[in-house]
Amino acid sequence: MPLSDFQAVIGLEVHAQLLTKTKIFCGCSTAFGAPPNAHTCPVCLGMPGVLPALNEQVVALTVRTGLALGCQIRQTSIWSRKNYFYPDLPKGYQISQYDRPICEHGTLRFGDEGDGEEKSVRILRIHMEEDAGKSTHEAGGESLVDLNRSGVPLMEIVSEPDLRSSEDAAEYLRTLRDVLVYLGVNDGNLEEGSFRCDANVSVMPKGSAVFGTRAELKNINSFRFVKQAIDYEVARQVELLEAGGKVTQETRLWDAERGETRTMRSKEEAHDYRYFPDPDLPPLHVSQAAIDAARKALPELPRARLARFQEQYGLPAHDAKVLTADRALADFFEAVAARAPDAKKVSNWFLGELLRLLKEENVALGALPFTPAQFGALLKLVEAGALSGNAAKGVFAQMFREGGEPKEIVDRLGLGQVNDEGAIEAAVDSVLAKNPSELESYRAGKKQVLGFLVGQVMKAMKGKGNPQRVNALLRQKLGD
């Protein structure tokens, strides 16, 4: 059977670091990029005799996520010890949740954003746990351990094996990442490892309902690598089966440089970890009142906002998708659109000048030196004919770099658009007098000459003439 006769079966386990200032069971900082082992204490180093103290914000952020994904929130959940040895796990166990996680049975929908079919993936569970440290393997053979990450709070979001292609897996991850960032629970940074995933991959003949033996691909930290790793693993398993072999349940590591997966260790089952309730942490109780308050405080999520932008503002799907991809950008757009007469023109400015300058100047949206009201005032100047489109771009660039009121910048730089009929007529008459041959060509039917004459009038007025009035007066003088 060729590769096309097999169906991939994919489930994803996403590890998302929560946006808390301190770790899950101690007061050490979670800030990324500190010198190795700078953010540690006896608790996160696993010293004998220390006791964990739960960071309540971890629970609040996890409940928020569970509600956003339609999960049932378990009001009493249990902390468990997951026992295994690894150099970057100082206690020899990880505090996690096992048979009674805080969130279960949700759904994530993706696709169908104006360009495809809506799909959904069932969320099996979301549980809280502490992150492990990080091992670094030096070229000389030494292995170094940095425990700054040890104890950073994690949510593990486990999907059912509902995905059937690497493309869908990558799109699921993008959608989940957008939701977590919108919720303010995760920064979505794949490069720093704060959003990463394991992929459980198996294959079965098309038409079969019996899943094959799965392999787990560990700690993949880019959407591109997820797709590549799954595609490689599917092809590897099909080739193995076609040769008469059997797929072994194991954990495999994705080697991005070689473009292949390779065996890391045999896959452990739950009993291998010897889970048992953590004796230092009592059962976690979340009140119904806290759950109701968290539900009420949920923000509008990306898919709902995408649909509303198209309906409320009349935006094309592409515009709405770009604007709602980032919550801060969407918030800023709505603040400007509330002060401007035409939402589509606001969108054009955002997708054009604003995003271009943010990228070129490497500036964060939150660091802009102008307000939505000032942006709206600039657009009103253009709409009123007091400023040409090209001049407005120059004013916007000035606002982007230094801030300021657009009207003051226009006056200071002398960029105001001339609407005075007398001044425009004088410039038109002068241009027509200097270009008699073009005038005759136009009257002989060569209508494209009009563009040349408009350009000459605008040049004579140093770009300040109102283009609509210049055009209308020229046509009048030419006899149209």
- Candidates 405, 393, 403; CA nearest to 368 is 403
Query: 126: which strand partners?
Result: 103, 157
User: Which of residues 413, 445, 469 is at a domain's end?
Assistant: 413
pLDDT tens for 191-249 read: 899 999 999 999 999 888 899 999 999 878 889 999 999 999 999 999 999 989 999 99
Same domain, 256 and 375: no
Residue 23 contacts residue 204 (beta carbons within 8 Å): no
Q: How many CB atoms lie within 10 A of CB 459?
A: 12
Per the structure, the complete domain to which residue 434 belongs is given by 421-478
Same domain, 279 and 307: no
Q: 471 falls in which pLDDT band (50, 70, 90)?
A: low
3-class SS string, 331-394: HHHHHHHCCCCCHHHHHHHHHHHHHHHHHHHCCCHHHCCCCHHHHHHHHHHHHCCCCCHHHHHH
Same domain, 138 and 47: yes
Q: What is the pTM of this model?
A: 0.84
Same domain, 158 and 58: yes
Same domain, 259 and 386: no
Domain count, the chain: 3
Please tell me which residue, 310 or 476, carries the higher pLDDT value.
310
Structure tokens at 294: 């968290």
pLDDT tens for 402-418 read: 999 988 888 787 665 55
Helix crossing, 166-183 with 302-313: angle to 10°?
A: 80
